[in-house]
Structure 1
Amino acid sequence: MSRIWVTGYRAYELGVFKDNDPKVAVLKYALKQRLVEQLEQGMDWLITGGQPGVELWAADLATELKADYPQLQLAVFVPFEDFGKNWKEANQAKLAKAKSQADFFAATYKGDYQGPFQLQGYQDFILEHSDGAVLVYDKDFEGKPAYDDRAMTTFQEKAPYPVNRIDMEDLQEYANDYQEAINEEKWNS
């Protein structure tokens, strides 16, 4: 696999309203572990969207990982051109940062939001132009990623499409690992 779609919960769905929330560090730690696995298996494109939360955290991580994996490219796609224009200024800045860091940026539809068909078309486009996914989603904790999960499952009926899911149990294990790493770092200081 070379092109991996990374998506998942929006920040608000995880109760994250500030960048310094400890949950962000754990989520980025978990994502980084999974992305390194993907890189070791040949990923050279990380494809993500512009939603605040998992998608923009993944874009940040891609930029960070390029230091050790210079072959890694970042593509950021949004469902329409004016995506994010009504967001709070801080979230607009995060999207602008992801756009500026991306090796490729595009909207799947020209113009403003016109209807749900654009979101469906966006999913279809990403599925057709990726070789697998990393999805932060747990079926027991509904949220917007349920739509992506269903789209991926439907797509898997037509073509091989591996989905590497990170659920709440995985996140708890990563939280424990992250805390151990911090404690070890403090101990060794």
Structure 2
Amino acid sequence: MVKVVAVSGYKPFELGIFQANHPAVGFIKKAIRKELEQLLEEGLEWVIISGQLGTELWAAEVVFDLQNDFPSLQLGVFTPFLKQEESWKAQNKESYESVLIQADYVDSISKKPYEGAWQFRQKNQFFVKKSDALLLFYDQEKDGSPKFLYEYSKQYKESHPYDLRLIGFDDLQILVEEEQGEQY
């Protein structure tokens, strides 16, 4: 039974997405929603993210939308360190702040501002150990920041019961084709 799922994946720039209204965002959110709906049927109670731009904030928007039908579903935001948004552009800060305001729980794993890559490793460990499953938008054909969380969760899964679910580019392609089929 999956009560807590951690959600992560690519950041927008890793996908060549520089606008919030980019068509790909809708398909990424649909893929996340599809997986979360399945997990809700399996007893999902919490979605946890670290508040990173891209997949994680899109997942938060999906959770807020799902809460209309599943009011007991909760969102926790565990930032890797304090003030992670400090150097972000104003528009990104706005999206982030909006998620924090609506989240059911917000905390920082490291109680210090950014000091080094160790804080991201610590965040990956926290996420895997505090969740029953990881939903990761990651395709092994395209390298990127999710690789580290993927590698850690794969290693963890070898000695612990852990559910690792990937959303890849093929999954998005299927959603695109399904939608195009509906239009004709």
TM over 0.5: yes
Q: Which amino acid aligns with 2:54?
A: G
Task: Name the aligned partner's letter for residue 168 of structure 2.
Answer: D
- Conserved 8 A contact 1:29-1:178: no
Q: 1:164 to 1:69 in 2, by over 3 A?
A: same
Distance 1:119 1:71, change over 3 A: same
Gaps of at least 5 residues in structure 2 are: none
Q: CA deviation at 1:129?
A: 0.7
> Helix, strand or coil for the counterpart of 2:8?
strand
1:113 equivalent in structure 2? 114
So what's the TM-score if we normalise by structure 2?
0.96
SS state at 2:131 partner: coil
Tell me the alpha carbon deviations over residues 64-106 of structure 1, each in whole angstroms, 9 at most, x when there is no partner: 0001111100001110011111011111111111101100011
Partner Cα distance (1:91, 1:77) in 2 = 17
> In the alignment, which residue of structure 2 is the partner of 1:74?
75
Aligned partners of 2:149, 2:179: CA distance in 1, in Å? 27
Taking the aligned partners of 2:32 and 2:75, their CA distance within structure 1 comes to 15
The residue aligned with 1:173 is 174
- What amino acid sits opposite 1:25 in the alignment? G
Tell me what 2:39 maps to: 38
1:23 aligned counterpart, secondary structure: helix
Q: Structure 1, residues 121-143: CA drift from partner, whole Å, max 9, x if none?
A: 11111111100011110000111
Name the amino acid aligned to 1:72.
L
Task: Please tell me the residue identity of whatever aligns with 1:99.
Answer: L
- Paired residues of 1:26 and 1:178 also in contact (CA < 8 A): no
The CA distance in 1 between the partners of 2:176 and 2:153, in whole Å, is 27
Matched, 1:65 2:102: no
Q: Which residue of 2 aligns with 1:19?
A: 20
Counterpart CA distance in 2 for 1:178 and 1:117 is 42
| Structure 1, gaps ≥5 residues long | 185-189
Determine the C-alpha separation between the residues in 1 that align with 2:138 and 2:129: 21
8 Å CA contact 1:127–1:152 kept in 2: the answer is yes
Q: Size of the alignment, in residue pairs?
A: 183
Deviation at 1:54, TM superposition (A): 0.5
2:112 is aligned with what amino acid? G
Equivalent position of 2:8 in the other structure: 7
Q: CA deviation at 1:178?
A: 3.1
In the TM superposition, structure 1's runs of 4+ consecutive aligned residues that sit over 6 Å from their partners are none
User: Which position in structure 2 is the counterpart of 1:134?
Assistant: 135
Deviation at 1:43, TM superposition (A): 0.6
Deviation, structure 1 residue 55: 0.3
Aligned to 1:75, the other structure's residue is in SS state strand
Structure 1 match to 2:160: 159
Cα RMSD, aligned residues only: 1.1
